[in-house]
C-alpha cells in the first residue's frame, strides 16, 4: 500500500541529490556570464539606466511566475528582510560591478575583487551564523585566493581609478553581507514571492539612481537587447534562484567558495568571445581554484560540525 509513496520519496531524494551535484557548477557558469552580459550592457547604456530596464523586465517575469504558481507571501517582517537582502545582493552588488566596467575597469578585475568574497564571508560567518570554519576549509580558502590571483596575474589591470575601483569594493562587501543576511533571515521565505519583493525594491533604487545621476541614454542595439535577455532570464531568474537554493541547503562558507571559480570561468569566456588569452599561469590558477573549492566543500566528520545558534 505504501509503495507509490515510497517510490515518490525515492524519486524526490534522487532528484535533490542530482541537483545538489549540478547546481554549483551551473551557478558558477551562469554567474560568470553575468560579467560578459554586463559589459555588453554598459557599452550601450549608462549603468543605472541599463539596470533599471533589466529590473523592470525581471519584475515582470517574476510577477507572471508568482501569478501562476501562487506561492505563500511573506509577512511584513519577512518582507522587510527581503528588501534588505535584495538591496545588498542585487542593488549594491550590480551597481558596483556595472559602474566599475562603465569606468573602464576590465571585466576580469571586476570579477576578481568580488571573487575575494570567501575570505570575508568565512570570517563573518563564524561570528554571525555560528558556522565553524575548519582548518581544512581555511586551507581551501587560502588556496583559492592564490588561484584567483594567478588567473588574473597576466591580465590587464589598467582602468580608471576612483569610482570604478570603489565600485568593485562595494560589490565585494554587498554580496558578502547579502549572502549572510539571506542565509540568516530569508531562508524560510518562498524564493518566488521573496525574489519578487527583492527585485521590485532593487528596481526602485536603480530608477532613482538613473533619474538623479544619468541622462538615461540607451543604444537599443542587438547586442544590448541580447545582453538584457540573457541577464534577465539566465542571471536574475536562473542564477539567483540557484544561489538562494544553495544558500538554503549549504553553509555560507561553502556557497561563498564557489565565487573563487567565477574569475577563472570569466577569463575563459573572455578568451572565447573576445580572444583574451589566459596563459599558463591562468590555467594553473584555475586548477588551484578548483582544488580550493574541493577542500572547502569536502564533507566534514560529524564531530567537526557545529550547529548554529537558534537552529
The residue assigned the cell 536562473 is 238
Reported confidence tier of residue 75, pLDDT bands at 50, 70, 90? very high
Assessment of whether the complete model's pTM goes beyond 0.85: no
Q: Is residue 240 part of a domain?
A: yes
Q: Describe the chain by its helix, strand, coil percentages, rounded to 5.
A: 80, 0, 20
Query: Residue 131: its pLDDT value, please?
Result: 64
Rounded Cα gap, residues 168 and 106, in angstroms: 11
Reported confidence tier of residue 183, pLDDT bands at 50, 70, 90? confident
Rounded Cα gap, residues 115 and 228, in angstroms: 23
Task: Enumerate the β-bridge partners of residue 45.
Answer: 218
Count: domains in the chain: 1
Note the pLDDT tens digit of each residue in 195-210: 999 999 999 999 999 9
Rounded Cα gap, residues 117 and 3, in angstroms: 46
Which has more pLDDT, 255 or 154? 255
Q: Is 134 exposed, middle or buried (0-12, 13-18, 19+ CB in 10 A)?
A: middle
pLDDT greater than 80 at residue 78: yes
Rounded Cα gap, residues 152 and 282, in angstroms: 7
Quote the mean pLDDT of the chain.
80
pLDDT greater than 90 at residue 47: yes
Q: Is residue 18 part of a domain?
A: no
SS3 156: coil
Mean pLDDT over residues 89-110, rounded? 84
Query: Residue 251: its pLDDT value, please?
Result: 67
Q: Is residue 132 part of a domain?
A: yes
Task: Tell me the DSSP string of 58-100.
Answer: HHHHHHHHHHHH-PPPP-HHHHHHHHHHHIIIIIIHHHHHHHH
231: DSSP letter: I
Reported confidence tier of residue 166, pLDDT bands at 50, 70, 90? confident
- Short-list 91, 105, 90, CA closest to 164: 105
Q: Is residue 310 part of a domain?
A: no
Q: Is residue 135 part of a domain?
A: yes
Q: Is residue 9 part of a domain?
A: no
Query: Residue 12: its pLDDT value, please?
Result: 63
Query: Residue 305: its pLDDT value, please?
Result: 36
Mean pLDDT over residues 28-45, rounded? 90
Note the pLDDT tens digit of each residue in 84-98: 999 999 999 999 999
Evaluate whether 203 touches 52 at the Cβ level (below 8 Å).
Answer: yes
Identify the domain containing residue 243 by its residue range: 26-304
Reported confidence tier of residue 163, pLDDT bands at 50, 70, 90? confident
pLDDT greater than 50 at residue 3: yes
Q: Is residue 8 part of a domain?
A: no
pLDDT greater than 70 at residue 60: yes
Query: Residue 273: its pLDDT value, please?
Result: 76
Amino acid at each position: 500500500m505504501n509503495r507509490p509513496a515510497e517510490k515518490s520519496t525515492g524519486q524526490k531524494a534522487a532528484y535533490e541529490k542530482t541537483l545538489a551535484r549540478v547546481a554549483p557548477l551551473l551557478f558558477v557558469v551562469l554567474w560568470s556570464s553575468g560579467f560578459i552580459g554586463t559589459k555588453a550592457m554598459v557599452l550601450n547604456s549608462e549603468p543605472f539606466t541599463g539596470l533599471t530596464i533589466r529590473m523592470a523586465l525581471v519584475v515582470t517575469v517574476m510577477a507572471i511566475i508568482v501569478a501562476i504558481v501562487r506561492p505563500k507571501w511573506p509577512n511584513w517582517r519577512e518582507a522587510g528582510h527581503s528588501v534588505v537582502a535584495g538591496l545588498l545582493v542585487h542593488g549594491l552588488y550590480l551597481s558596483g560591478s556595472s559602474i566599475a566596467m562603465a569606468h573602464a575597469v576590465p571585466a576580469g578585475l571586476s570579477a576578481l575583487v568580488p571573487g575575494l568574497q570567501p575570505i570575508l564571508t568565512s570570517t563573518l560567518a563564524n561570528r554571525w551564523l555560528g558556522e565553524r570554519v575548519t582548518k581544512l576549509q581555511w586551507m581551501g580558502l587560502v588556496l583559492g585566493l592564490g588561484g584567483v590571483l594567478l588567473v588574473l596575474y597576466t591580465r590587464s589591470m589598467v582602468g580608471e581609478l576612483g569610482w570604478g575601483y570603489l565600485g568593485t569594493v562595494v560589490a565585494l562587501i554587498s554580496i558578502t553581507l547579502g549572502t549572510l543576511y539571506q542565509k540568516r533571515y530569508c531562508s524560510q521565505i518562498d524564493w518566488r514571492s521573496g525574489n519578487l519583493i527583492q527585485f521590485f525594491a532593487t528596481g526602485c533604487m536603480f530608477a532613482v539612481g538613473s533619474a538623479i545621476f544619468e541622462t538615461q541614454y540607451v543604444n537599443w542595439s542587438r547586442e544590448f537587447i541580447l545582453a538584457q535577455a540573457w541577464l534577465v532570464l539566465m542571471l536574475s531568474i536562473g542564477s539567483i534562484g540557484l544561489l538562494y537554493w544553495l544558500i538554503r541547503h549549504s553553509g555560507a562558507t561553502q556557497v561563498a567558495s564557489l565565487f573563487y571559480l567565477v574569475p577563472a570561468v570569466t577569463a575563459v569566456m573572455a578568451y572565447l568571445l573576445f580572444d583574451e588569452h589566459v596563459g599558463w599561469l591562468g590555467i594553473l590558477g584555475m586548477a588551484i581554484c578548483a582544488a580550493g573549492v574541493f577542500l572547502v566543500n569536502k564533507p566534514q566528520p560529524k564531530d567537526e560540525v557545529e550547529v548554529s545558534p537558534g537552529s
